[in-house]
């Protein structure tokens, strides 16, 4: 794709009549923060403090390698600052759990000793497969959602499960090897994404007429359309949206080394709207032009949409910071309803981008906080090295001022205790239970309970990188649990990592965390049982066979693996016919409930 390809091809935005420009300012919402109420001095101090704190943190990060000895001190300090009253209260509610847990732990340990199924690794990638059936037999088209240069996206319903999904078809073009690579690239990148603000992929098909990708369906439509209908947003609302975008970008850039390269409101979807606050739960889509970054090598392919493209992309030498520039453009639009760099045609727009001048004096910026303007300036910084990173943006004073993060980490104490207890006690008794949980959690990201678990994950994940380290887990337990000794806490962390870190990479990813934290009584629901059973019963015969298990675990045709899978079947197959019936499966799954 060339510069502005998507603008031209989709004609979502026309240059002469910028869709975001609205004459009618009466629909503008009042922002909750009035800049005149805040003394300029205070703001400058805040921003300066923020800049200083970034510099300071960079310094700290450099010396952190030799800091393990200081950890103990830090932990002691933390434990003193924890609210004592809360601790006592939690201690009482957890006392009972503890006794129960000890009993269960003994039982589980005995069971563990008898268990041999340790070599079958389970991760989310295992359940995202190329389906060799016809997509049209599996999904019923409901309506068209969008059309791009190479394909179409529909809202569809899975005929078997009834679940709503989005289906993207990319038409096969003769001799277009590059496009094939782009599609495989999009699938591969999405398979590795495990973040609440990035759309989930479920399966894909390779057909004669094209490639089909099945993803999570976002009910609320494009952010682009919401901007068009509202004109612009209050600061609170804009901050809430941008916090999620920066969070997703931090995960892409730092954890997965992925650059999106086409960030714009048409690729930011509203998954749902909070009925109480009206806030959007957003998801980033369209990784078709995304790229896995080679360390320290800059990119040179010019991609992206005209209004959002960074100046260094036009100069063909860029890195992940090009996405931050796009974030700056999006934030500007959210707050004022206009694009920062406009022109009659592509040439004029790109010229303005290269100059990097934008207007923060136009209406309604006189009513917008200095913090918001500072974040825009830091994103639309011409010097890439000086431009703010996604991680730094998450810590910007604007989000502190509006208490943006608080909204995302708001859970009640009962739910917190229950979740932590589930985490500590998580120990699936066999690989089928583990697989069923993996499949369930991945397929129901919109379940309320999973959304709340994600909030706790965010509370623990103080580095905001989308994966929990041992230290973060330790600090999380220390903060939200009452344990007398450090040793005891270390033991809990070890146990959690042993049982939860299924892919053994030394971190707990978001879905791993949800699997452990989810209330397993969900498996008392026959529909849930059937849903996970059907995933393993590939031919729909009503029995899970050895060859089906081989397929779902993606194991090779060797004697070792076959022996292992046979052992799994034998333990569950009570009538001895060599296969697992739905009844046998249900009985086995129900004993996952602790
Ligand atoms: N998961 C989804 N849920 C709802 N609508 C979607 C979803 N994915 C895509 N769309 C709609 O289809 C449009 C095109 O999809 P996208 O993946 O961006 O393809 P393209 O590469 O053609 O831009 C989007 O802008 C959006 O309107
Ligand atoms: Mg798109």
User: What CATH number is given to the structural domain containing 303?
Assistant: 1.10.510.10
Whether 502 maps to a domain, the answer reads: yes
With a 6 A CB cut-off, is 168 part of the ligand 1 pocket?
yes
The pLDDT of residue 123: 78
With a 6 A CB cut-off, is 146 part of the ligand 1 pocket?
yes
Count of beta carbons in the 10 Å neighbourhood of residue 278: 11
- Are residues 138 and 282 part of one domain? no
- Are residues 353 and 249 part of one domain? yes
With a 6 A CB cut-off, is 222 part of the ligand 1 pocket?
yes
Block residue for tokens 């979807």: 269
The pLDDT of residue 48: 73
- Are residues 201 and 168 part of one domain? yes
Per-residue model confidence as pLDDT tens digits over 15-71: 333 444 443 333 333 333 343 344 567 666 766 776 676 666 666 555 554 454 555
Q: Is residue 125 a contact partner of residue 146, using CB atoms and an 8 Å limit?
A: no
Distance separating alpha carbons of residues 281 and 358, to the nearest angstrom: 29
The pLDDT of residue 54: 63
**Residues linked to residue 129 through DSSP beta bridges, in sequence order:** 203
Per-residue model confidence as pLDDT tens digits over 260-302: 999 999 999 999 999 999 999 999 999 988 988 877 678 877 7
Domain boundary among 187, 216, 245: 216
Residue owning the nearest CA to atom 24 of ligand 1 = 146
CA of 181 to the centre of ligand 1 (A): 19
Q: Residue 146 belongs to a domain with what CATH number? A: 3.30.200.20
Omega within 30 of 0 (cis) for the link into 236 = no
With a 6 A CB cut-off, is 267 part of the ligand 1 pocket?
yes
CA of 6 to the centre of ligand 2 (A): 8
Angle in degrees, CA 516, 125, 118, rounded to 5: 60
Q: In a mutational test of the pocket of ligand 1, which residue from 9, 164, 168, 202 has the highest number of ligand atoms less than 8 Å from its CB?
A: 168
pTM of the model: 0.83
- Are residues 131 and 113 part of one domain? no
Give me the residues of the chain with pLDDT under 70, please.
1-40, 42-44, 46-47, 50-51, 53-120, 174-179, 296, 304, 483-484, 594
Instruction: List, as one string, the DSSP characters of 194-235.
Output: --TTBPPEEEEEEETTEEEEEEE--TT-BHHHHHHHHSS--H
The number of folded domains in the chain is: 4
Whether 77 maps to a domain, the answer reads: yes
Q: Is residue 454 a contact partner of residue 515, using CB atoms and an 8 Å limit?
A: no
Q: Is residue 47 a contact partner of residue 371, using CB atoms and an 8 Å limit?
A: yes
Q: Is residue 230 a contact partner of residue 304, using CB atoms and an 8 Å limit?
A: no
Residue owning the nearest CA to atom 27 of ligand 1 = 146
Q: Please name which of 223, 227, 241 lies closest in space to residue 277, comparing C-alpha atoms.
A: 241
Q: Please name which of 139, 179, 206 lies closest in space to residue 288, comparing C-alpha atoms.
A: 179
Q: Is residue 372 a contact partner of residue 32, using CB atoms and an 8 Å limit?
A: no
Q: In a mutational test of the pocket of ligand 1, which residue from 169, 198, 285 has the highest number of ligand atoms less than 8 Å from its CB?
A: 285
Q: Is residue 254 a contact partner of residue 351, using CB atoms and an 8 Å limit?
A: no
With a 6 A CB cut-off, is 1 part of the ligand 1 pocket?
no
Beta strand ranges found along 233-286 (DSSP E): 258-259, 268-273, 280-284
The pLDDT of residue 118: 53
**Percent of the chain residues past pLDDT 70, beyond the cut:** 78
- Are residues 255 and 202 part of one domain? no
Residue owning the nearest CA to atom 26 of ligand 1 = 146
Q: Please name which of 487, 465, 463 lies closest in space to residue 476, comparing C-alpha atoms.
A: 463
Distance separating alpha carbons of residues 126 and 432, to the nearest angstrom: 13
CA of 167 to the centre of ligand 1 (A): 9
Residue ranges of alpha helices (H) inside 523-558 are: 526-536, 546-553
With a 6 A CB cut-off, is 235 part of the ligand 1 pocket?
no
What torsion, rounded to 10 degrees, do the Cα atoms 210, 214, 220, 223 define?
-60
**Residues linked to residue 213 through DSSP beta bridges, in sequence order:** 168, 204
Instruction: Look up the domain containing 501 and give its range.
Output: 413-590
DSSP state of 299: B
The pLDDT of residue 30: 33
- Indicate the average pLDDT of the chain: 83
Residue owning the nearest CA to atom 23 of ligand 1 = 148
Domain boundary among 352, 381, 403: 403
CA of 520 to the centre of ligand 1 (A): 34
CA of 164 to the centre of ligand 1 (A): 15
With a 6 A CB cut-off, is 216 part of the ligand 1 pocket?
yes
Q: Please name which of 334, 315, 531, 357 lies closest in space to residue 441, comparing C-alpha atoms.
A: 531
Q: In a mutational test of the pocket of ligand 1, which residue from 139, 145, 167, 283 has the highest number of ligand atoms less than 8 Å from its CB?
A: 145
Residue owning the nearest CA to atom 11 of ligand 1 = 146
Positions annotated as catalytic residues are 262
CA of 60 to the centre of ligand 2 (A): 39
Beta strand ranges found along 331-468 (DSSP E): 467-468
Distance separating alpha carbons of residues 447 and 489, to the nearest angstrom: 30
Whether 294 maps to a domain, the answer reads: yes
The H-or-E segment that residue 170 falls in is: strand 164-171
Whether 408 maps to a domain, the answer reads: no
- Are residues 563 and 523 part of one domain? yes
Distance separating alpha carbons of residues 361 and 537, to the nearest angstrom: 62
Burial of 307 (0-12, 13-18, 19+ CB in 10 A): buried
- Are residues 465 and 530 part of one domain? yes
- Are residues 254 and 366 part of one domain? yes
- Are residues 340 and 457 part of one domain? no
CB crowding 212-221: b at 16 or more within 10 Å, else e: bbbbbbbebe
Q: Is residue 302 a contact partner of residue 4, using CB atoms and an 8 Å limit?
A: no
The pLDDT of residue 185: 85
CA of 380 to the centre of ligand 1 (A): 26
Whether 2 maps to a domain, the answer reads: no
The pLDDT of residue 442: 96
- Are residues 368 and 258 part of one domain? yes
Beta strand ranges found along 68-161 (DSSP E): 129-131, 139-147, 151-158
CB crowding 408-439: b at 16 or more within 10 Å, else e: beebeeebbbbbbbbbbbbbbbbbbbbbbbbb
Omega within 30 of 0 (cis) for the link into 220 = no
Residue 224, CA distances (Å) to 148, 152, 268, 320 in order: 15, 18, 8, 23
Q: Return the ligand number nearest the Cα of 286.
A: 1
Whether 1 maps to a domain, the answer reads: no
Q: Residue 445 belongs to a domain with what CATH number? A: 1.10.238.10
Residue owning the nearest CA to atom 1 of ligand 1 = 217
Q: Is residue 244 a contact partner of residue 279, using CB atoms and an 8 Å limit?
A: no
Domain boundary among 181, 216, 251: 216
The pLDDT of residue 76: 52
- Are residues 270 and 255 part of one domain? yes
Residue owning the nearest CA to atom 12 of ligand 1 = 146
Residue 71, CA distances (Å) to 77, 78, 377, 395 in order: 10, 10, 37, 23
């Amino acid at each position: 794709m060339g510069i502005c390809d998507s603008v031209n091809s989709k004609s979502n935005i026309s240059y002469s009549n910028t869709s975001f420009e609205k004459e009618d300012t009466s629909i503008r919402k009042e922002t909750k923060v009035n800049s005149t109420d805040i003394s300029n001095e205070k703001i400058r101090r805040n921003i300066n403090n923020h800049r200083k704190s970034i510099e300071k943190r960079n310094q700290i990060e450099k010396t952190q390698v030799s800091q393990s000895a200081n950890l103990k001190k830090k932990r002691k300090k933390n434990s003193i600052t924890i609210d004592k009253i809360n601790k006592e209260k939690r201690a009482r509610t957890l006392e009972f759990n503890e006794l129960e847990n000890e009993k269960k732990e003994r039982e589980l340990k005995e069971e563990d000793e008898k268990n041999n199924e340790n070599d079958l690794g389970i991760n989310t990638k295992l359940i995202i497969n190329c389906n060799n059936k016809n997509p049209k037999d599996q999904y019923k088209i409901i309506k068209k959602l969008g059309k791009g240069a190479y394909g179409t996206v529909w809202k569809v319903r899975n005929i078997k499960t009834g679940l709503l999904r989005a289906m993207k078809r990319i038409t096969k073009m003769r001799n277009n090897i590059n496009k094939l690579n782009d599609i495989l690239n999009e699938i591969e990148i999405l398979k590795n994404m495990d973040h609440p603000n990035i759309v989930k992929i479920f399966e894909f098909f390779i057909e004669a007429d094209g490639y089909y990708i099945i993803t999570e369906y976002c009910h609320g439509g494009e952010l682009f359309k919401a901007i068009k209908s509202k004109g612009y947003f209050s600061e609170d609302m804009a901050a809430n949206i941008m916090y999620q975008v920066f969070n997703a970008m931090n995960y892409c850039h730092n954890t997965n080394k992925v650059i999106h390269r086409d960030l714009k409101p048409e690729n930011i979807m509203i998954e749902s709207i909070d009925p109480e606050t009206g806030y959007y739960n957003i998801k980033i889509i369209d990784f078709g032009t995304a790229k896995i970054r080679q360390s320290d090598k800059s990119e040179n392919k010019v991609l992206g949409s005209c209004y959002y493209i960074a100046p260094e992309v036009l100069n063909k030498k860029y890195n992940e910071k090009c996405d931050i520039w796009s974030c700056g453009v999006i934030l500007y639009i959210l707050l004022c309803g206009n694009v920062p760099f406009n022109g009659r045609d592509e040439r004029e727009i790109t010229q303005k981008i290269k100059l990097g001048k934008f207007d923060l004096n136009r209406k309604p910026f006189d009513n917008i906080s200095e913090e918001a303007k500072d974040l825009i300036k830091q994103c639309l910084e011409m010097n890439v090295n000086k431009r703010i990173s996604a991680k730094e943006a998450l810590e910007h004073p604007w989000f502190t001022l509006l208490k943006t993060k608080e909204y995302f980490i708001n859970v009640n104490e009962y739910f917190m205790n229950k979740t932590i207890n589930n985490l500590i006690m998580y120990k699936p008794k066999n690989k089928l239970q583990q697989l069923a949980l993996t499949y369930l959690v991945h397929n129901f990201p919109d379940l309320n309970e999973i959304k709340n678990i994600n909030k706790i994950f965010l509370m623990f994940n103080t580095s905001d990188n989308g994966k929990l380290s041992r230290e973060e887990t330790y600090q999380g337990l220390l903060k939200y649990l009452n344990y007398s000794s450090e040793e005891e806490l270390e033991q809990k962390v070890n146990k959690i990592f042993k049982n939860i870190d299924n892919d053994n990479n030394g971190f707990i990813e978001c879905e791993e965390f949800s699997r452990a934290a989810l209330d397993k009584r969900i498996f008392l629901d026959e529909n849930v049982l059937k849903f996970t059973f059907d995933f393993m019963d590939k031919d729909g015969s009503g029995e899970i066979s050895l060859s089906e298990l081989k397929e779902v675990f993606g194991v090779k045709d060797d004697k070792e693996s076959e022996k292992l899978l046979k052992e799994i079947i034998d333990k569950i197959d009570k009538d001895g016919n060599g296969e697992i019936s739905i009844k046998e499966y249900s009985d086995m799954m129900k004993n996952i409930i602790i």
